Every structure is written in structure tokens, then in C-alpha cells.
Amino acid sequence: MSGTIETRLFINNEFVPARSGSTFALYNPATEDHVADVSQAEAADIEDAFIAATAAQKEWEGIPPMRKSPLYGKLAGLIMLHGDELARLEAISMGKPYSSFMFDKMACAGLFGHYASAAYHIQGQSSLNTPGMINMTIKQPYGVVAAIIPWNVSLIMFAMKVAPAIAAGNAIIVKTSEKAPLACLKLAALIKQAGFPPGLINIVSGYGNITGKVLAEHMKIRKIAFTGSVPTGKKIMQMAAASNLKNVTLELGGKSPAIIFADADLDMAAKATEFSIHQNSGQHCQANSRVFVEEGILDQYLEKVVAIMTSRKLGNPLEKDTWQGPQGDETQQKRVLSMIENGKTNGELVLGGKAADVGGKGYFVEPTIFKNVNEDAEIYREEIFGPVLLVNTFKTEEDVIRRANDTEYGLFASVYTRNFERAMRFAKLLESGAVGVNCSAPTQGLDMPVGGWKQSGVGREMHMYAVENFLETKTVYFKFDHSFDMH
Ligand code: NAD
């Protein structure tokens, strides 16, 4: 413990320090103050978690869903009840404003509620097409699975992985991000309070190349679900292949386009695209960082977006009226500022363009807009993960489709128009895991899949798509009539 903040590992429903005593320091990105020294899991701790999870999984698999469902409901209720404390922990570790955390709280609780009865939907198929036999498929859990999550929406990522994994009958070891370990450790206490059995859900903190690597290379863990950046996703896949060829799902970065036609509701388009790039300080994988507006409406669009962006309050995330907090940490701020410098030689600065001064402390960045950006520039091609909007113009449908799709990413793409046929053409032609017609990310239905095309990911999450990720399929051949002989 560090004061009233839990900083230890959560293994077998107990909080324990790392066996080696290893810790890492966490700093408040708004004030630069030291927040806590957090226990860092190494191989011996992961082994403890694996042993506990193995024992728990054997029992959990045999418990009927109707006895498990109430636990999910109880946890969802506890998350809602402890929302203020969870918000405070996110604010002091990665800088999320209290106001925007309320969405994370609802989504995290909602996801646990959503998966409460998911186990009943896990069903195989049967076939009578082989003479003399009834054949069937059955779905079974992997056993002990692992998840590695990022820091930008840690509680949502936690729920998106843990709830379907245990609904499928697995036990899980989750590694949180070194930038945001605290709220998930509070969640650990709530998991225990809700009555989930010891060892079912284990939560470890630590850096990726220390703690995460042990999970990705583990020889007995057969499934790993990862959310984070493209470079780390590639490393996870390499480690999974080089160890035991474990099954991998990857939810990675984005560079989402939003295309705005002159016939669109421009107020609505400006509002939605501004929110997409600005909320959570632009630290959102699906944020529409590349906007294309039809020639002729550029000035009108920019005027509207600038008015909204400059009306938002930037400041300490613990103050209830703060809309934009700092970037996640100093590294994130430096990366965003270096991208902005790249933008200054590859586009025209419209707004912002530097670190924001909030009492001389913290890792803040001014909301920034560039127009007429060189589409070969680094700022245009790489994910920024900051409040930086790039706005270019287009003349024809063919031209803008080609340019919107000219990226290695493919998470979310938007088109704003009142022309129904054009909207349908774009829904088909845009190369991404989701297309929003007259809406931008974040837009999500709990029963709709999430995932990326191209280098934005491998596999889909949410609803039963996620449960499927944590199941093996077995074919069972059942011979009942020996008069048919296949040999
Ligand atoms: P990151 O790749 O730096 O880290 C993600 C996680 O991987 C962290 O827990 C980290 O400790 C761990 N990690 C890092 N190196 C590792 C290694 N060598 N071995 C094992 N684990 C390792 O990403 P981030 O900065 O935490 O998150 C931001 C990224 O996540 C952005 O690219 C964003 O687009 C992406 N993201 C994607 C989605 C999605 O649903 N597609 C959602 C949220 C965030």
C-alpha cells in the first residue's frame, strides 16, 4: 500500500508485493508529483498467478452460469458505487478528467453486466451428414489466458477482456499499463468483494519488457489478448510464435479519416469530429485525426471547430469542470510535441501548436489544428495520440476514397453526407473495421464488433465475438450405427 492507494499485485484474491521487491515509480501528469511506487511483477510472480489461476479455472469451469451471473451484476454495482474513487485514481495516474471518466465507469460496469449471461450463448453445432453418426462441435475454454492492456481507457479495456474471458470459462492474468495501474487495482478489491473466487482474475502491474514479456513468452498460457500500439502488437505476435505459438488477438492503433461533403449537416459534423480528436486529450485509438472537407467549405468548417475547441477548459483533471487534462505522461507529451513540429514544416498551423501552460507544471498540449498538410509527412502517416487535427480538402469521391484509404491503419472511418447512395458507397469502399455514417468514434454498440483492418489489428472484440476469442472448438464424432463403414 502507498497511503490509501493499493499498489501491490493481486494474485489469488490477495494483495502481495512482488517477490523480488521490485517497484516502479508513478508520477501525476498534471502536477509532476510522485504518486506511488507500484509493485512490478517478474517471472516468479507470474508463476504464482499461473498456479493460482490453474486451480481456480478447474473449479470455475464446472460451476453453472446461473450461479456465476449474480457475481457480474454485483461487480457492476460496485463499480458504479466506487466511481469517484476510480475516477480519482485514473486522474492522478494518467490524467483523465473526472467528467470524461464517468463514461469509462458506465462502460466498464455495463460490460460486466452485458457478459453476465453470455455463457448461455456458447453453443456448438451438430450434423447428421455422416451416415451412421451424429457429429458435433463443442466449445471449451483455453484454461489460463492472459491480457495486456493500455492506459488510455484502462477500465474499459480491462472489462472488454476479463468479462468475456471468464464467461468462456477461463481464468485470467491481466497486465495493466505502467502508466495507469491504480484504478485496476481498486477494481481488484471490488472483484474480491463481489465474490469472484480466488485465482480466477489476477492483476499484475509492470513495464511491458519486464512483466508483459513473461506473459507473451509463457509456455503454458495458450491465449493472449493484447490492446496497444502497432509496434508492441508485432512484438507480442513474435513472442507468441517463438514460444508456444499461443493464439493472439490484437487491437492496435489508428489514423482514422472523416470525410465531410458540402451537403452534410456541418454543425453536427464539426461537433462530432472535434469531440473525436479532442476527448481524452486525443488519446483514443479511433480518433478521427485526418479530416477531409469538400472544397469550398474549409473555412466554414474550421471556424466551427476552432470555436468548439477553444471553448473547452484545459486544466487539472481533478477539477470537475476540466474538459481536457494532460497527456498520459512526459513521453506522450514529447511525442505529440515532436509531431507538431513536424506539422509546422508540412502544413499550415491554424490553432495551438505548443505545450499548454497550466501553472508551469504538467504534460499539457494545446489543442492543435493544421490545414493543407503534406500527405507524405510523418505527422500525416503516423498515429499521434494527441489533440491534433489535420484538415485537407478534396474535389471528387474517387480522389477522397483513395486518399482516405492510403494508410496502413484501418480502425474507424467516417463519412458525413445527406446523400444516402453516396453514404452506402463509402460504407463499402472505406477500408476499416467500422464505418460511421454521420458519426465519428467513439460510437459503439455493445453488441457490435470492434477491430481493425490492415495493421490496426487481428480479430474482433465485444459481445460474443470476444467470447469466441477465448474458446477452443472441438469436433466430436459419435457413431451410433455400425452398419455404415467409412473404411
Ligand atoms: P503500448 O503498445 O506502448 O503498450 C500497451 C501495453 O503493452 C502496455 O501494458 C505495455 O506495458 C505493454 N507492452 C509494451 N511493450 C511490451 C513488450 N515488449 N512485451 C509485452 N508487453 C509490452 O501502447 P499504449 O501506449 O499503452 O497505448 C496506446 C496505444 O494503444 C495506441 O497505439 C492506441 O491506438 C492503442 N489502442 C488501441 C485500442 C483498440 O481497441 N484498437 C484501444 C486503446 C488503445
Query: Does the structure show a pLDDT above 90 at 177?
Result: yes
Residue 6 Cβ < 6 Å to ligand 1:
no
Decide whether any atom of ligand 1 lies within 6 Å of the 8 Cβ. Answer: no
Give the pLDDT confidence score for residue 1 in this predicted structure: 55
Shortest-distance Cα residue to atom 12 of ligand 1 = 208
Ligand 1 centre from 179 Cα, in Å?
A: 11
Task: Say if ligand 1 is within 6 A of residue 213 CB.
Answer: yes
pLDDT digits (tens, 9 = 90+) for 365-420: 999 999 999 999 999 999 999 999 999 999 999 999 999 999 999 999 999 999 99
Cβ(137) – ligand 1 distance below 6 Å:
no
According to the model, what pLDDT value does residue 231 have? 98
CATH number of 257-437: 3.40.309.10
85 as an active site residue: the answer is no
Pocket of ligand 1 contains residue 243 by CB under 6 Å: no
Predicted pLDDT of residue 424: 98
Pocket lining: 255 vs ligand 1, CB cutoff 6 Å: no
pLDDT tens for each residue of 447-468: 999 999 999 999 999 999 999 9
Tell me the mean pLDDT in the region 323-346. 98
Query: Among 157, 211, 285, 334, which residue has the most ligand 1 atoms within 8 Å of its CB, making it the best to mutate?
Result: 285
Q: How close is the Cα of 225 to the center of ligand 1, in Å?
A: 11
Indicate the pLDDT class of residue 31, thresholds 50, 70 and 90. Answer: very high
Instruction: Write down the pLDDT at residue 97.
Output: 96
The model's pLDDT over 219-273, given as tens digits with 9 standing for 90+, comes to: 999 999 999 999 999 999 999 999 999 999 999 999 999 999 999 999 999 999 9
Question: Ligand 1 mean position to 456 CA, how many Å?
Answer: 12
Average pLDDT over residues 160-171: 98
pLDDT in tens, 83-99: 999 999 999 999 999 98
Instruction: Please state whether the predicted TM-score (pTM) of the whole model is above 0.85.
Output: yes
What is 316-366 written as a DSSP string? -TTSTT--B---SSHHHHHHHHHHHHHHHTTSEEEE--SB--STT-S--B-
Predicted pLDDT of residue 486: 67
Cis peptide before 387 (omega within 30 of 0): no
Residues in the chain: 487
Q: Is the pLDDT of residue 299 over 70?
A: yes
**CATH 3.40.50.300 is right for the domain spanning 2-252+452-474:** no
Q: Which of 90, 251, 366, 461 is catalytic?
A: 251
Instruction: Place 3 in a pLDDT band, splitting at 50, 70 and 90.
Output: low
Q: Are strands 348-351 and 368-371 parallel, antiparallel or unpaired?
A: antiparallel
The rounded Å distance from CA 233 to ligand 1 centre is: 7
Q: Where are the domains of the chain?
A: 2-252+452-474, 257-437
Contact 193, 78 (CB under 8 A): yes
Each residue of 128-156: pLDDT tens digit? 999 999 999 999 999 999 999 999 999 99
The mean pLDDT of 417-443, rounded to a whole number, is 98
DSSP three-state, residue 224:
strand
Q: DSSP for 128-162? A: --STTEEEEEEEEE-SEEEEE--STTHHHHHHHHH
280, 96 contact by CB (below 8 A): yes
Question: Which band of pLDDT confidence, cut at 50, 70 and 90, is reported for residue 37?
Answer: very high
| pLDDT over 60 (residue 2) | no
